[in-house]
Amino acid sequence: MKKNVFSLMIFFLVTLLLILSVNFAFARSFNNDFETGDLTDWEEKTGTAFDFQPTWGDNPTARNRGQPSNHQGDWWLGLAERYQGPDKGAKLGQKPGDMQQNANGGVAPDFPQGTLTSIEFTIVGETINFLMGGGNRPWEENPEPCCVNLVIKDKVERTMTGSNTETMTRREWDVSDLKGQTAQLVVIDNSSGGWGHPNFDDVHQADAKGKNIPWDQVLAVDARGKLAVSWAQMKKYY
């Protein structure tokens, strides 16, 4: 009897140590589609372009732009937009369809500039897909880029722009050669010229069959990249 109790105690202690070794800050979902209504999980913001982000609803349609946003859910990054929803937006005197302003308060959708950087995450999928729109100002070809970059150890490994339309479409990167590495997403708005803004929403990693991997499984990876909260769920993606 005593032997069984001792064995149970050892098992409990070992299990507890394994659990405590997991970084629970990573064992949660990522604000991949901005449905928190704020910039939670996007840890670094520079400039002023993201001061009124994320935006709420189909603002381009609200001002009869003829280019629906095609956003997912309610919230998305629309860097020409200045409407933050029926609650916060109303308190700030905003209305659907409002656009960014210049320093004098005039309508200037491309005026603000800045960058927004996500938390770190481990690449476990074969691909990364997301909704992308806005200006076509490539990272490598334009002195004032507007794009989304995948960054690993301060190096841009992948980049994407819009196609000079407010309407976002589903884009994809092949990241199979980057699996196991720690990355960040950086949304860049470095232009005040024509089509000087990106639109971005709903980012996912997907497996070899094209099935999106839940972010709580991606972020369950320990900061050391070794141990997962649910290894049975995670191991198939490696």
Mean per-residue pLDDT, 27-40:
90
- 169 assigned to some structural domain: yes
Question: 82 with 52: CB under 8 angstroms?
Answer: yes
What domain range is 183 assigned to? 28-50+110-219
**What is d(CA 106, CA 114) in angstroms, rounded to the nearest whole number?**
19
- 120 assigned to some structural domain: yes
Tens digits of residue pLDDT in 128-175 = 999 999 999 999 988 999 999 999 999 999 999 999 999 999 999 999
- 204 assigned to some structural domain: yes
- 213 assigned to some structural domain: yes
Mean pLDDT of all residues in the chain?
A: 86
pLDDT given for residue 237 in this prediction: 35
**What is d(CA 80, CA 138) in angstroms, rounded to the nearest whole number?**
18
Model confidence at 27, pLDDT cuts 50, 70, 90, reads low
- 128 assigned to some structural domain: yes
pLDDT over 60 (residue 24) = no
Model confidence at 29, pLDDT cuts 50, 70, 90, reads confident
**What is d(CA 146, CA 88) in angstroms, rounded to the nearest whole number?**
27
How many domains are contained in the chain?
1
pLDDT over 90 (residue 215) = yes
- 82 assigned to some structural domain: no
pTM of the model: 0.82
Provide the CATH number for the domain around residue 122.
Answer: 2.60.120
Residue 159 neighbours by CB under 8 Å, 6+ apart: 138, 139, 140, 147, 148, 149, 150
- 145 assigned to some structural domain: yes
- 137 assigned to some structural domain: yes
